[in-house]
Amino acid sequence: MNGVSHVALGVRDMERSLRFYRDLLGLEVRFDATQPIGGMPELYANPGKGTRRAVHLHYGDGAAGGFLVLSEMPGGTPGESIKLDQVGISHFAWWVDDLRAMHTRLKAAGVKILVAPAELDSGGYGDATGRKYLTCLFEDPDGIILQIDQRGA
């Protein structure tokens, strides 16, 4: 394997999530469509609903880029978001160039901050130890935990 293709998140309210991911975080919508759920209905939480709305939000450029898929079931997506260290993907993180500015923007927008900007040793990221990195954790509108990191802070 040589990179992450995408991460997919179920959301309760697509418009609210778009205001967060597109408008606040700055991801770019490149696909927005209603899709039939077929072929493998056992994989879906509500297979009887027949369709879902999927929005692809892109970030980064070249090999460092990727995309996030948001999906919403008609009438709302069921379930609760998990917390750190529970079974499943408990969070994911992006590299950013100015973590403190992003934190200020998130805080001003009323986003729930779980870990304010904090310094960590670069060894925790698989790099040589001795350098400081910044990290910050926060929640999206559905309580999904997100993280931003900055190298060499």
Q: pLDDT tens-digit profile of 107-120?
A: 999 999 999 999 99
Query: In CATH, what number does 92-150 get?
Result: 3.30.720.110
Report the percentage of the chain scoring pLDDT > 90: 67
Q: Above 80 in pLDDT, residue 39?
A: no
What pTM did the predictor assign? 0.88
Identify whether the C-beta of residue 143 lies closer than 8 Å to the C-beta of residue 81.
yes
CA distance 125 to 72: 33
Intervals of CATH 3.10.180.10 along the chain? 6-72
Return the structure tokens found at 91.
């969070």
Average pLDDT over residues 94-114: 97
The class (CATH top level) of 6-72 is alpha beta
**What is the per-residue pLDDT for 74?**
83
CA distance 67 to 60: 9
